[in-house]
Structure 1
Amino acid sequence: MVTLQDVARAAGVSIATASWAINNNKNVRIPESTMRKVRKVAADLGYRQNAMARSLARGRSDLIGFISDGVATSPFAGQVIQGAQDEAWRNGKILLIVDTHGDPDIERRACAFMLERQVEGIVYSSWVHHEVRPPEDLARVNSILVNCFDRLGRFPAVVPDEVQGGRTATEMLTNAGHRRIAFVNATEQSPASQGRLEGYQEALAAAGLQYDPDMVMTCTVDQEGGYGIMSQVMQTGATAVFCHNDRTAMGLFDALRERGMHVPDDISVVGFDNQKLISAHLHPALSTVGLPQYELGVLGIRTLLQREDVGEKGEGGSADAAGEHGPYSPIRVACPSVPRDSIRILAAS
């Protein structure tokens, strides 16, 4: 194997000069001709630099930790990792990914493992948008939360804009002329259920419509829940319904079909999440609002690297967790509309 000493000998320079030239050390003045010569010799000899030595020389590892509680195994949230990986690669970084399945002990061990390998930062991500309690060691390094947040705002966080998403879903119906719009929400309280309800209310107000609590009902947000809520939806006299997610809408489709009703001729339906295995393959295809999963991953890495560049440093040289730069307010990413064929146009707004 070709060593740095071999490169230095062939180039006729010292080992230190060869190292500085290969690492492009900005703090040492080396003639441009010498740098070109050393690099050409290294390329001709097939020299490959030791990654650990390069990290020590440059003061950074080019490694970013990614700790998740199920993102890696979720068929829908995997786009978060894809976005993070693409953005990391564009910046010359590589992800170390650990899926903890929500086990706090694995989280702590994963964090310690990554710190030992001098990662430049850690992304802590959840497959569902909710409040989390990250391991304390996360504060020792530049870190960011993705699709989750901590209540005290100790860490910067990137999350979907649930309020905007709920508003967009409802506006798809008000813009089509609908005035009696039911909302099937989740029984369980969460940032998604609360935010989407708030967005629904905002869109009604913007359209000059009065909010009626009787038009809002809850169920388990899955196919069974959507199927079971159909009769309650029909009792409201709604011409359109906004479902908390696509799985709920799929169950509603099934129940309506059994009753001999047709979407969108008899009732219009909008979902949320844009789970393409569902929304694009229902008949008719479901109009919905997408979760910006890929964008969450991209922005998580981008924000992490920007914090490193501007030097928001805390204990031990890590990016400050809250400290003088916090508490942090979440960065909210817009949820895009995905219009398909499940909305009947009554009148243009």
Structure 2
Amino acid sequence: MTGSRVSEKTSGIRDVAALAGVSPTTVSHVLNQTPHTRVSEETAARVRAAAEELGYRPNRLARGLRTQASDMIGLLTEEIATTPHAGRIILGAQEEASRRNLTLAIINSELHPDPEMDESQIQAFLDRQADGIIYATVYHDVIEAPENLLMRPAALIGARDTAGSIPAVLPDERGGAASVVDMLVARGHRRIGFAASADDVPATRGRLQGYLDGMARAGLSTDGLIVEGGSDARGGYRATLALLEREPTAVFCYNDRMAMGAYRAAADRGLQIPSDLSVVGFDDQAPLPESLFPALTTVALPHYEMGAWAVAALADLIQGTRDGQPRAADPEVLECPLIERDSVAPPRRRAAA
């Protein structure tokens, strides 16, 4: 009977301290991730192992009452929760939050909502005592941060704020596009067409500039090799048909949906991919690239990494471990990796530049 009572007894912080051979204060610092404390990693690992063995978890409610911290951060998305991109952003944010013992709450907003709606949704996080807020946008943009967003530490995904006061993370669209041209040139292509988007958004400008960078670096002409279209399959189809009149050996599309239209255009002209025409997309928007035949070579946006970066940056701000917030003029820019599949091959002919 006595043994049963001991096994069912709830372990406390002193039990963890005794098992780890440290003071209760050290246990508190380690498990609550108290900033500006000096605990060696060896000691911290011993404390965590002891807590795990005893099944001990810190009382977050009591800690919150003492510190006015909720250990919750808010993620306000701009319609990304209903797009294929959202899953990776949310997963990256969620896993980084878990690593830092934080709870992630999500509110899905409308695309480009009016300022009043933004403020009300941010207020919902403030009312719930969120320690910080992340704002994620669909299109890379410069936003006017609502006043109440600045009442807590904040971070931006896919955007910069006009005041330059909020840490931001962006994908390197320009570098990703340039890497496509570099790869095609290495495969022997000299006439590389670009099916550009007609949408006036930063991603359009970044990807076009990356294409121009790569072509200039290789000493290749772009005359007649840039055609704009809608950023969907229909737009890609029409843009590619126009490009095929200029006899490119490869077509680089603004996004994967336009690349899907490029496949149809090539088929209508009796061309085989990749033996007659190489095609490359951008976004790696699952499941599209691997659903096409042959599977589409494309560039991936670092959604998971951006979500994780934003949570890490926000947590550091909350804990006061940053020397200062990055300015909007120099946001964190993450690499967009090239994902090579089966839609690229050396050209049958090497046309003059």
TM-score (norm 1): 0.80
Give 1:191's match in structure 2, choosing from 202, 223, 230.
202
What is the alpha-carbon distance in structure 1 between the residues aligned to residue 56 and residue 210 of structure 2?
58
What is the alpha-carbon distance in structure 2 between the residues aligned to residue 21 and residue 332 of structure 1?
37
SS of equivalent to 1:229: helix
Structure 1 counterpart of 2:109: 100
Structure 2 counterpart of 1:343: 344
Structure 2 counterpart of 1:219: 229
Structure 2 counterpart of 1:158: 169
CA contact (8 A) 1:162 1:191 kept: no
**Residue 220 of structure 1: how far off its partner (Å):** 0.3
Matched, 1:137 2:129: no
Task: Note closer, same or farther for the CA distance 1:177–1:152 as it changes in structure 2 (3 Å cut).
Answer: farther
Give 2:71's match in structure 1, choosing from 45, 62, 72.
62
What is the alpha-carbon distance in structure 2 between the residues aligned to residue 252 and residue 48 of structure 1?
55
Task: Note closer, same or farther for the CA distance 1:328–1:122 as it changes in structure 2 (3 Å cut).
Answer: farther
Give 1:73's match in structure 2, choosing from 76, 82, 104.
82
**Residue 282 of structure 1: how far off its partner (Å):** 0.6
What is the alpha-carbon distance in structure 1 between the residues aligned to residue 108 and residue 189 of structure 2?
44
Letter in 1 for 2:108: D
SS of equivalent to 1:123: strand
Deviations along 1:156-175, whole A, 9 cap, x unmatched? 21010111011012112111
Structure 2 counterpart of 1:111: 122
Matched, 1:121 2:162: no
Identity %: 36
Task: Note closer, same or farther for the CA distance 1:135–1:262 as it changes in structure 2 (3 Å cut).
Answer: same
Alignment of 1:254-269 (within 5 A): 254-269=264-279
Deviations along 1:139-166, whole A, 9 cap, x unmatched? 1111011012223423121010111011
SS of equivalent to 2:282: coil
SS of equivalent to 2:260: helix
Structure 2 counterpart of 1:333: 334
Give 1:201's match in structure 2, choosing from 212, 226, 238.
212
Give 1:298's match in structure 2, choosing from 284, 293, 308.
308
**Residue 216 of structure 1: how far off its partner (Å):** 0.7
**Residue 59 of structure 1: how far off its partner (Å):** 4.3
Task: Note closer, same or farther for the CA distance 1:55–1:241 as it changes in structure 2 (3 Å cut).
Answer: same
**Residue 127 of structure 1: how far off its partner (Å):** 2.4
Matched, 1:229 2:230: no
Letter in 1 for 2:340: P
Deviations along 1:88-147, whole A, 9 cap, x unmatched? 111100111111123344421221122233222110001232232332111111101101
Letter in 2 for 1:87: E
| TM-align CA RMSD | 3.1
Task: Note closer, same or farther for the CA distance 1:290–1:100 as it changes in structure 2 (3 Å cut).
Answer: same
**Residue 280 of structure 1: how far off its partner (Å):** 0.8
TM-score (norm 2): 0.79
**Residue 56 of structure 1: how far off its partner (Å):** 2.1
Letter in 1 for 2:164: G
What is the alpha-carbon distance in structure 1 between the residues aligned to residue 140 and residue 75 of structure 2?
17
CA contact (8 A) 2:276 2:347 kept: no
Give 2:281's match in structure 1, choosing from 266, 271, 292.
271
Structure 2 counterpart of 1:34: none
What is the alpha-carbon distance in structure 2 between the residues aligned to residue 47 and residue 162 of structure 1?
45
**Residue 211 of structure 1: how far off its partner (Å):** 3.7
CA contact (8 A) 2:193 2:252 kept: yes
Structure 1 counterpart of 2:3: none
What is the alpha-carbon distance in structure 1 between the residues aligned to residue 320 and residue 68 of structure 2?
16
CA contact (8 A) 1:264 1:342 kept: yes
Task: Note closer, same or farther for the CA distance 1:327–1:146 as it changes in structure 2 (3 Å cut).
Answer: closer
What is the alpha-carbon distance in structure 1 between the residues aligned to residue 63 and residue 172 of structure 2?
40
CA contact (8 A) 1:23 1:54 kept: no
Matched, 1:280 2:290: yes
Letter in 1 for 2:96: E
What is the alpha-carbon distance in structure 2 between the residues aligned to residue 231 and residue 165 of structure 1?
25
What is the alpha-carbon distance in structure 2 between the residues aligned to residue 48 and residue 298 of structure 1?
24
**Residue 204 of structure 1: how far off its partner (Å):** 1.2
Structure 1 counterpart of 2:40: none
CA contact (8 A) 1:23 1:57 kept: no
What is the alpha-carbon distance in structure 1 between the residues aligned to residue 254 and residue 11 of structure 2?
63
Aligned length: 313
